[in-house]
């Protein structure tokens, strides 16, 4: 196998191992898919994860309303006083913004915003550049949801990340609407707490996590890739030679998948795997060095063309 193909394979493997397609990678390339799925399902957490995710969405939708009745200062509270011996009741005028947020109508802000964001994605109306930016935003926020990477489907992690960004957009809009930075501060604190709670409550069982980790541990290079957070990766000449042999043997299906520029994801709705195009433009791993002692071979992903360039430094 040529060096560029190997570098491309490592970039592809890194993309799946650090993201929400970890199960698909292990099941398809590191084990027998049918038998592994059976063992995984036997150890899966029977908790109603969909119910928890619905509660997360409802919390996001209700945030402006809850904020208005709890933390937000409300200057239009009626005050009483005795003026000239008479009991007077007075309050500040022009509280239209605050009153709107305290009304049930504000509960419609979240669903409307969600529709405006999700409709272009669902109907594939976004330009390619916008898709790359959206994908990177989801991955950046997903760094706090490591346990959700062990689910069979990427839906849980992407749903949680989407709720987080929807929540943050709501709070930023609220800050601009009220001209009060307190909303942004509260939004950030609550958003982080929401991510931590989601990572804990919506995660798969410890048995499923251990099962996937055990499979990855059998491949030291993939183990390193699964925890690698930089855009540059270094392998030794020995690792390079061993991987080239494996890609002609037990990992041949992985090599063929990379060659075709596609990967498999598990879809609950289809009860199986579906093929997707590799998002070469948004891969985090961009450069692979092969340490050969006196010199290093550098392979860099060309993001515009989705190919790899190689040269000696």
Using a CB cutoff of 8 Å and minimum separation of 24, what contacts does 293-296 make? 293/237
Compute the mean pLDDT over every residue in the chain, rounded to the nearest whole number.
78
Q: Which of 41, 96, 62 is nearest to 268 (CA)?
A: 41
In this model, does residue 251 exceed pLDDT 80?
yes
Query: pLDDT tens digit string along 139-197?
Result: 666 677 888 888 888 788 888 888 888 888 888 888 898 888 888 888 888 888 888 88
Q: Which of 211, 189, 191 is nearest to 199 (CA)?
A: 191
In this model, does residue 304 exceed pLDDT 60?
no
The least confident of 113-117, 165-169, 179-183, 260-264 is: 260-264
- The more confident residue out of 108 and 143 is 108
Per-residue pLDDT at 212: 92
The CA–CA distances, whole Å, from 14 to 24, 71, 228, 232, 245 equal: 13, 43, 8, 11, 19
Share of the chain above pLDDT 90, in %: 5
The least confident of 57-66, 222-231, 238-247, 274-283 is: 274-283
């Amino acid at each position: 196998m040529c060096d560029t193909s190997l570098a491309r394979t490592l970039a592809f493997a890194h993309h799946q191992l650090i993201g929400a397609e970890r199960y698909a990678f292990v099941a398809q390339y590191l084990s027998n898919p049918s038998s592994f799925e059976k063992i995984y399902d036997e150890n899966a957490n029977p908790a109603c994860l969909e119910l928890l995710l619905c509660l997360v969405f409802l919390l996001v939708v209700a945030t402006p309303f809850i904020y208005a009745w709890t933390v937000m200062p409300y200057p239009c509270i009626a005050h009483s006083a005795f003026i000239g011996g008479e009991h007077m009741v007075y309050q500040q005028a022009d509280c239209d913004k605050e009153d709107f947020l305290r009304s049930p109508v504000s509960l419609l802000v979240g669903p409307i915003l969600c529709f405006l964001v999700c409709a272009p994605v669902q109907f594939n109306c976004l330009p390619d550049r916008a898709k790359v930016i959206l994908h990177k935003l989801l991955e950046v926020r997903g760094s706090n949801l490591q346990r959700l990477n062990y689910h069979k489907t990427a839906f849980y992690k992407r749903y949680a990340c989407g709720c987080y960004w929807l929540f943050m957009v709501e709070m930023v809009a609220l800050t601009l609407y009220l001209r009060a930075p307190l909303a942004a501060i509260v939004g950030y604190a609550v958003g982080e707490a929401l991510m931590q709670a989601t990572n804990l409550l919506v995660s798969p069982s410890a048995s499923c996590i251990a099962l996937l980790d055990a499979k990855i541990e059998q491949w030291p290079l993939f183990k390193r890739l699964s925890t690698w957070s930089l855009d540059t990766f270094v392998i030794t000449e020995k690792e390079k030679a061993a991987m080239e042999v494996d890609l002609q043997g037990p990992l041949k299906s992985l090599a063929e998948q990379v060659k075709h520029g596609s990967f498999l994801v598990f879809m609950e709705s289809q009860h199986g795997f579906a093929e997707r195009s590799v998002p070469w433009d948004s891969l985090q791993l961009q450069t692979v060095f092969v340490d050969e002692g006196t010199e290093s071979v550098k392979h860099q992903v060309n993001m515009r063309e989705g190919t790899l360039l190689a040269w000696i430094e």
